[in-house]
Structure 1
Amino acid sequence: MKHFMRKYTLLYMMASAAALFMTSCGEDRSHEYYELINPKIWLYDTMEENYLFYDELPDRESLESNKSFFKKPDEFVHAVASRKDQKNGVYFSHVDSVFTSRTKSEIPSFGFEGVVVRDGNTGKYFIQIIYVQKESPAAEVGLQRGDCITEANGYNITSSNYNRFIFQPTQAYTYKVARYNEATQMADTLMVDMPAPTYVDEPSVYIAKTINVGGKKVFYLMYNAFEAEETESLQQALTQGLAESPDDVILDLRYNPGGSVSTAITLNTFLAPASAMNQTCAKLIFNDKIKEDVTYKFDPSLLNGAQNASFNHLYVLTTSNTASASELVINCLRPYLGEKLLQVGENTFGKNVAQSKITNEAYPLIEFWLTTAYVSNAEGNYDYYTNGLQADYKISESYGYPLGELGTASDPLTAAALYHIANGAFPKTETEGETTPESRSSKHNTVRFNSIAAKPKLTKIQ
């Protein structure tokens, strides 16, 4: 009876609102009203049944009274989402355009990722490039990782103009760039004419190479997104790299915000020991209305005839932007690799849930990615939302200082892994109260925006 009265009240309230809307100015506008609210009603109905945190949804009456059903679809989902379905301003459940592709930039760009840094000594802002996409406008003019952009068309970079000049450009610009000169240990000043922005390919496999360290072979793979449509390129990179029988593997996920669960399972299958084949890799734990969990196994057919990796250690390089499917990789390999898996860098983001794509033919432009499951490893562990996955050896990139070339000893995160490979232990870190001039100065620099942090954190159930 209570449930009936609740629905009756809601229908009355919606009918009243509809009556006002439909008779505005003596015009029958009922079709506009229902076109406006029906997609949100479908989203809510879907969440009531499939949402992992369905029991924390606001009731319909409150949503009607505060006019939530009149919001845009993505805003509506954000308005009703559980606190467990968001973190650090990032919402996990979300609505995408059906045209979204993660393998090409969604808007014209210059083809680089970067951070907006405020210099604590001068108060000035600059953009430091953290990597450049190949065959992009930025690569064409020779911009490099570590370069600092201080001006665009004669204007200083500020906290209010960096998007226009750097991350959402609409025209060509002339940049003033500071580049560290290792020989002089000073910054050289360059003027760079950046061509007009364009749509840039963003391949997931950024670097795949073999490094020689003291007579040992090390396979280094920098992987920046788990894109289902690029699984084959991942398999090719792994097959070629592991065919050289490396002694150790460095998997660089520092800038990887996640992606497809199935692609993460493919990566794990290559890196797991042969004894793990056909064993549980990951479990998806759904709400109690669905009552059916899903198990992903290490599938030897994904190897395409290749052999599983056999190595001394797997070093996974991470930052606080390592999230979602990247965390699945680490968490789900841990039961099978134990101490052979060493996480180097920062603690990860801490996203332990997955999203399912739900669509409705009535609303063809809405692609609803709803949080439907926890992501667990074979031991039942998915408790890393609060603190992320903890690094075994902690080290961070120092923005505002030379970053070093990725995949080389000049990069601090890679260098720590290479040091362990050569010496059997990580380098000594600064003890409490003991600092260097660089570490003292770096505390003055504040990161105001990180383009990697702004990317969606995805664990997609395809």
Structure 2
Amino acid sequence: MKRSLFHIHALCMLASALFLASCGQDRSGEYYALIGPKTWMYETMQQHYLFYEDLPTEEGLNFFDKPETFLQSVVSSQDQKNGSVFSHIDSVNVSRVQSAYPTFGLEGSLIRNTNGDYVVHILYVYPDSPASEVGLKRNDWVVSVNDRALNTSNFESFFQRPSSSCRYRVATEVDGQPDTSYVDMPAPRIIEQPSVFTYKTITAGSKKAFYILYNGFETDDEESLKAAFNEAAAQSPSDIILDLRYNPGGYVSTAQLLSTILAPQGAMGQPWLTMVFNDKTDPQTQTYTFDANLLQGVTNLNYDHLYVITTSNTASASEIVINTLRPYLGDKLLQVGAATFGKNVAQSLFTNEAYPQLEFWLTTSYTANSENFYDYYTDGLQPDYVSSEDLTANLGEFGTPADSILAPVFYHLEHGTFPSTGTEESTRSTGSKIIYNPIDHKPKRSQMSIK
């Protein structure tokens, strides 16, 4: 590996110090072991990083930092947004459809109500999880744990990373009346986190639509995605509702599969996505198509409208699907909800045999559609109709008109137009405040193993 003068100078200084400190033993190998991974990362970024011109000079960097810390110190401001850094380090052989650590299997937002008390509003519960086993469900409220008040300090240990069983006091509605009860939570454990969270066929007026809540683009879960759309095809729906409100992205290859399932037949073989690399890369662009070969075991669907449900947490690979289908679907694609996150870049995987435990996902390209559009970093992809999910208020069941973000979709299915009074965000408020929404902090991913 080529060494800069800076590294040679630093090596000489440290090697001399190590020599004196160890009675003449040559410990320079320890130095290389400490800085080697970061040196390789930095040299990789100089060549392949989309924003290589923003890299700081190496003289001011600490090559003794851990890889994650080192990466944080060198990434461009264009490679991050709202606290989310796009280039990242992953551990190898981690299943993305399993929780990374023991959990109760629920996602809930920490809310401070009008009385000043902290409560957790459950957004959804994973199947076959400790939370589902005790009957917890969407729209339940946890008001205390082990008879202790909730706060910002104990939220993580009781909900996000629990280490032991505990007792929740839960508030819910029974026949329209509020009720509270105690629930003994089993011990937390590693659970499956299916990307296809739920799907169903729904009716609205004379229309029959297929609804799917899809929470992550994971290659390990592609067969489940195909199976869901095969069931949809068997029902011959007139419309599709693709709910991406909680979907922060994942693998570009899985986004290509979903896009191909949803694309019109005439789009097969046509440009789907173009990766736009830096000016050191030859060729500077690489184009992928809607590939009919991906449809083995599933067929693409014919429908009147594709409604895509989005929020500010709809990101990365989710945005790729919307952006790449828009030129082919036109007015048939109706985005409902809020503007998306605005991540218009993809990460490629780099590995080095010398550092087998290091997966380096580096931002290498913009993600453009067939019209070469990728300028949505600042404002995200804008909805055709604005709607919202109020996490401080009653949460309707997924795929029903009681789900506030979906209400205008049901109206459109019945009437062929959206309601005239929903062109702005809902102003209704309970007076409560969202303190922490875990969905906001899920990693935004557009991962592509092309290196």
- Would the TM-score normalized by the shorter structure come out above 0.5? yes
Is 1:160 the counterpart of 2:153? The answer is yes
Is 1:85 the counterpart of 2:79? The answer is yes
Tell me which residue corresponds to 1:49: 47
Unpaired runs of at least 5, structure 1: none
Aligned counterpart in structure 1 of residue 102 of structure 2, from 91, 105, 108? 108
CA deviation map 1:335-361 (0-9, x unaligned): 001111111111111111101111111
Separation in 2, partners of 1:135, 1:15: 57
Q: Give the C-alpha shift of residue 78 in structure 1.
A: 1.0
Q: Give the C-alpha shift of residue 375 in structure 1.
A: 0.5
Q: Give the C-alpha shift of residue 10 in structure 1.
A: 4.8
Q: Give the C-alpha shift of residue 327 in structure 1.
A: 0.3
* 12-21 vs 226-235, which moves further: 12-21
Q: Secondary structure at the match of 2:103?
A: coil
Q: Secondary structure at the match of 2:441?
A: coil
* 192-201 vs 239-248, which moves further: 239-248
Aligned counterpart in structure 2 of residue 355 of structure 1, from 347, 354, 378? 347
Aligned counterpart in structure 2 of residue 273 of structure 1, from 236, 261, 264? 264
User: Closer, same or farther in 2 for the Cα pair 1:287/1:424, shift >3 Å?
Assistant: same
Separation in 1, partners of 2:29, 2:257: 47
Separation in 1, partners of 2:400, 2:436: 26
Separation in 1, partners of 2:417, 2:174: 31
Aligned counterpart in structure 1 of residue 193 of structure 2, from 177, 184, 202? 202
1:22·1:33 contact (CA, 8 Å) conserved in 2? no
User: Closer, same or farther in 2 for the Cα pair 1:32/1:447, shift >3 Å?
Assistant: farther
Give the AA of the match of 2:156.
N
Tell me which residue corresponds to 2:417: 425
User: Closer, same or farther in 2 for the Cα pair 1:37/1:267, shift >3 Å?
Assistant: same
Aligned-pair Cα RMSD in Å = 2.0
Separation in 1, partners of 2:256, 2:19: 51
Q: Give the C-alpha shift of residue 291 in structure 1.
A: 2.5
Aligned counterpart in structure 1 of residue 313 of structure 2, from 290, 309, 321? 321
Tell me which residue corresponds to 1:450: 437
User: Closer, same or farther in 2 for the Cα pair 1:431/1:207, shift >3 Å?
Assistant: closer
Aligned counterpart in structure 2 of residue 139 of structure 1, from 121, 132, 137? 132
Separation in 2, partners of 1:370, 1:344: 31
Aligned counterpart in structure 1 of residue 9 of structure 2, from 8, 12, 20? 12
Q: Secondary structure at the match of 1:453?
A: helix
Tell me which residue corresponds to 2:119: 126
User: Closer, same or farther in 2 for the Cα pair 1:153/1:260, shift >3 Å?
Assistant: same
1:323-338 aligned at under 5 Å gives the runs 323-338=315-330
CA deviation map 1:50-83 (0-9, x unaligned): 11111110111121xxxx2111101111110000
Tell me which residue corresponds to 1:211: 202
2:387·2:426 contact (CA, 8 Å) conserved in 1? no
Q: Secondary structure at the match of 2:12?
A: helix
Separation in 2, partners of 1:351, 1:369: 15
Separation in 1, partners of 2:306, 2:371: 20
Give the AA of the match of 1:49.
Q
TM-score normalized with structure 2 length: 0.94
Q: Give the C-alpha shift of residue 431 in structure 1.
A: 8.0
Tell me which residue corresponds to 2:400: 408
Q: Give the C-alpha shift of residue 206 in structure 1.
A: 1.0
User: Closer, same or farther in 2 for the Cα pair 1:400/1:180, shift >3 Å?
Assistant: farther
Give the AA of the match of 1:204.
S
Q: Give the C-alpha shift of residue 263 in structure 1.
A: 0.7
* 293-302 vs 192-201, which moves further: 293-302
Q: Secondary structure at the match of 1:47?
A: helix
TM-score normalized with structure 1 length: 0.92
* 6-15 vs 161-170, which moves further: 6-15
Identity of aligned residues (%): 50
Give the AA of the match of 1:52.
L
For these two proteins, the number of residue pairs brought into alignment is 446
Q: Give the C-alpha shift of residue 212 in structure 1.
A: 1.7
Separation in 1, partners of 2:426, 2:350: 53
CA deviation map 1:292-320 (0-9, x unaligned): 22211111122226543211110001111
Tell me which residue corresponds to 2:364: 372
Q: Give the C-alpha shift of residue 196 in structure 1.
A: 0.3
Q: Secondary structure at the match of 2:94?
A: coil
1:85·1:92 contact (CA, 8 Å) conserved in 2? yes
Unpaired runs of at least 5, structure 2: none
